[in-house]
């Protein structure tokens, strides 16, 4: 068996106690959700898919309404039909082939008034839904303030309006982000599980997004978001204030996940959605296949968590919120999922370059897997040219001369590196700065779980070693994004030997050309001066 397959089978063995806990039938969380109807926004996204899968596989819900808007010539029903074929449901499909009968698409758009729902859909949800999970958001860091506000803030307002009309609402969970309060003035400080003063009243921001001219809104964006690095974190902070001030007597809570990577245990170890390549996953992916070799970062603690642990915390928080509400504890709680100071950014590159990962390298790697890290933006730019742009221009030129084409969807190697470069600069705020995310409420939530639920809905990150997490994660990248079926690993290792030699020759040739260039320049300058 291939070494990568062996490790993946060992990772799958971690599911045994989870399956045993599910079969015992003494889970309080399972009993809470059994027979309930849920409404999920963002259900076609990375975390939304995991939530739907876990609810059906582990909680025996009656039905899940999934808000879905038409997209790319596909109706909402067609999008949900496509969703059901996703590999995230492979494990569920084996035990429950008819699981799709529990998923009901609802055409709408979180960016529209009343969520773009028809009158009938609004009434149906208000009549039937017991639990609401609001996960939809635009996570693009460079999104316009108007669009980010309409989706992240006004969409949350519309969710609250719908929740207040739900006759049997047992719980509402709003999924925010730990970084919404990671402002410039809180760098190297604690971010508590509490609500902070909003930079602007939610209604005022919504009014601006609805009525202000584009040029005016764009011109004031930089000054308006000031303490925040982008419109995403800014609007999520405002949305939290909207929840705090408008929740009324609803049984609700806020969950703040940090940077989310692939699944650790469920539904399959390492599962990751292809849509994640535009975030932190993009760097890990490109480094693990030898495509990227330079990283801009500081030697700081990095808050990352497995996706399945986030979903378990979201589900558990819904139950705890209802229990608190029944006990007349009406204070709105925030649950931050944090890895604390457990993980450090430099460990990521060390794992990729470790002997263990080099023995598990993909046969689809494009070059020698190694990385260099720097916190200096000029050095980063210089290294990016030497290690990425110059080779990319050479490759694109050769492809043009030989009349060869890259895979569909890839315009040129240079353009791909340009996208990665811009993405790195956007992410640099989080890679260069550090915050301590307090998670007292979340730890208390976990400690309150029954013995069974601590296994079945585990979100205690502390026992996980970083090496095991990232090894599982990188295997997931191979299986679900690179799609090499975790085979031919030994071939990949052999290729790395030759790539290493080619990499060495490249630097020798590049150094020689650079020397000759500056030597000629020196001689020319000397001749002119004489």
Whether 194 shows a pLDDT value over 60: the answer reads: yes
Instruction: Specify whether the CB–CB gap between 492 and 365 falls below 8 A.
Output: yes
Q: Over the chain, what is the mean pLDDT?
A: 90
Q: Check if the beta carbon of residue 55 is closer than 8 Å to that of residue 64.
A: yes
The 10s digit of each residue's pLDDT in 355-370 is: 677 788 999 999 998 8
What per-residue confidence (pLDDT) applies to 296?
A: 85
Structure letter (DSSP) for residue 106: E
Local confidence band at 351 (pLDDT 50, 70, 90 cut-offs)? low
Upper half-sphere CA count for residue 192 (Cβ side, 13 Å): 5
φ/ψ bin of 15: left (φ > 0), alpha (ψ from -120 to 50), beta (otherwise) = alpha
The rounded distance, in Å, linking the Cα atoms of 299 and 346 is: 6
- Per-residue three-class SS string for 426-483: HHHHHHHCCCEECCHHHHHHHHHCCHHHHHHCCCCCCCCCHHHHHHHHHHHHHHHHHC
**pLDDT tens, 47-75?**
999 999 999 999 989 999 999 988 877 88
pTM: 0.92
How much is the pLDDT for 400? 87
Q: Are 136 and 150 in contact (CB under 8 A)?
A: no
- Report pLDDT for 349: 54
pLDDT of residue 423: 86
Which pLDDT does position 516 carry in this prediction?
82
280-329 tens-digit pLDDT: 788 888 888 989 988 888 777 778 899 999 999 999 999 999 999 999 98
Q: Which of 301, 297, 304, 309 is nearest to 341 (CA)?
A: 301
- 3-class DSSP state of 530: coil
Q: What's the whole-number mean pLDDT along residues 335-351?
A: 63
Instruction: Please tell me the predicted confidence (pLDDT) of residue 75.
Output: 83
pLDDT in tens, 216-251: 999 999 999 999 999 999 999 999 999 999 999 999
The yes-or-no verdict on residue 454 having pLDDT over 90 is yes
* Residues 255 and 317: beta-carbon distance below 8 Å: yes
Residues 6+ apart with CB under 8 A from 20: 455
Q: Which of 15-19, 153-157, 347-351, 360-364 is least confident?
A: 347-351
Work out the percent of the chain whose per-residue pLDDT is above 90: 65
The pLDDT, as a whole number, for residue 211 is 94
pLDDT of residue 341: 47
For residue range 507-523, list pLDDT tens digits in order: 898 888 888 877 787 77
Would you call 162 helix, strand, or coil by DSSP?
A: helix
pLDDT in tens, 91-142: 999 988 999 999 999 999 999 999 999 999 999 999 999 999 999 999 888 8
Q: Supply the Cα-derived Rg of the chain in whole angstroms.
A: 25
Q: Is 391 helix (H, G, I), strand (E, B) or coil?
A: helix
Residue 317: per-residue pLDDT = 97
Assess contact for 472 and 11: CB atoms under 8 A.
Answer: yes
pLDDT at residue 344 in the model: 47
Q: Which of 170, 136, 178 is nearest to 321 (CA)?
A: 170
For residue 71, the SS3 value is: strand
Cα 342 to Cα 162, 303, 427, 443, 477, distances in angstroms: 39, 8, 20, 15, 22
CA angle 459/462/464 to nearest 5° reads 90
For residue 527, pLDDT beyond 70: no
Cα–Cα distance, 305 to 259 (Å, whole number): 7
Sequence-distant (≥ 6) Cβ neighbours of residue 249 within 8 angstroms: 330
Q: Specify whether the CB–CB gap between 242 and 156 falls below 8 A.
A: yes
The domain 25-273+301-339: what is its CATH number? 3.40.50.720
* pLDDT of 342 higher than 60: no
Domain range annotation of the chain: 1-24+274-300+340-530, 25-273+301-339
Q: What is the pLDDT of residue 352?
A: 60
**Residue 135 and residue 39 in contact, taking contact as beta carbons nearer than 8 Å:** no
């Amino acid at each position: 068996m291939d070494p990568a397959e062996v490790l993946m089978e060992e990772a799958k063995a971690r599911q045994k106690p989870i399956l045993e806990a599910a079969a015992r039938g003494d889970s309080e969380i399972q009993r809470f959700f059994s027979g309930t109807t849920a409404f999920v926004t963002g259900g076609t996204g990375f975390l939304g898919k995991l939530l739907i899968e876990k609810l059906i596989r582990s909680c025996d819900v009656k039905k899940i309404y999934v808000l879905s808007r038409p997209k790319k010539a596909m109706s909402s029903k067609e999008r949900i039909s496509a969703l059901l074929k996703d590999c995230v449901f492979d494990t569920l499909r084996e035990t429950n082939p008819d699981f799709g009968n529990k998923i009901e698409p609802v055409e709408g758009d979180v960016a529209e008034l009343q969520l773009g729902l028809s009158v009938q859909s609004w009434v149906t949800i208000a009549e039937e839904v017991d639990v609401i999970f609001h996960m939809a958001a635009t996570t693009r860091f460079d999104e316009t303030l108007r669009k980010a506000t309409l989706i992240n803030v006004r969409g949350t307002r519309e969710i609250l309006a719908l929740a207040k009309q739900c006759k049997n609402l047992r719980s509402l969970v709003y999924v925010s982000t730990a970084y919404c309060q990671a402002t410039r003035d809180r760098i190297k400080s604690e971010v508590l599980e509490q609500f902070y003063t909003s930079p602007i009243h939610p209604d005022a921001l919504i009014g601006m997004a609805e009525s202000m001219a584009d040029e005016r809104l764009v011109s004031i964006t930089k000054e308006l978001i000031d303490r925040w690095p982008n419109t995403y974190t800014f609007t999520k902070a405002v949305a939290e204030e909207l929840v705090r001030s408008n929740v009324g007597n609803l049984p609700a809570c806020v969950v703040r996940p940090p940077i989310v990577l692939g699944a650790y245990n469920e539904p399959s170890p390492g599962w990751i959605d292809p849509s994640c390549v535009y975030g932190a996953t993009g760097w890990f992916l490109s480094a693990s296949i030898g495509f990227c070799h330079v990283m801009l970062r500081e030697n700081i603690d990095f808050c990352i968590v497995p996706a399945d642990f986030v979903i378990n915390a979201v589900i558990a928080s819904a139950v705890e919120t209802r229990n608190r509400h029944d006990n007349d504890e009406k204070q709105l709680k925030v649950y931050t999922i944090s890895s604390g100071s457990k993980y450090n950014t430099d460990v990521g590159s060390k794992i990729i370059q470790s002997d263990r990962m080099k023995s598990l390298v993909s046969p689809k790697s494009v070059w020698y897997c190694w990385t260099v890290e720097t916190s200096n933006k000029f050095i980063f730019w210089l290294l990016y040219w030497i290690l990425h742009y110059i080779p990319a221009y050479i490759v694109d030129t050769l492809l043009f001369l030989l009349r060869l084409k890259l895979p569909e969807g890839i315009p040129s190697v240079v353009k791909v590196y340009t996208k990665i470069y811009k993405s790195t600069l956007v992410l640099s705020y989080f890679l260069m700065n550090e915050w301590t995310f307090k998670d007292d409420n979340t730890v208390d939530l976990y400690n309150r779980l029954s013995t069974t639920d601590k296994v079945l809905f585990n979100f205690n990150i502390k026992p996980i070693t970083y090496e095991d997490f990232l090894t599982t994660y990188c295997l997931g990248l191979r299986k679900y994004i690179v799609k090499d079926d975790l085979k031919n690993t030994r071939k990949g290792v052999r290729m790395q030997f030759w790539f290493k030699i080619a990499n060495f020759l490249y630097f020798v040739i590049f150094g020689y050309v650079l020397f000759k260039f500056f030597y000629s320049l020196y001689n020319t300058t000397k001749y002119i001066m004489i």
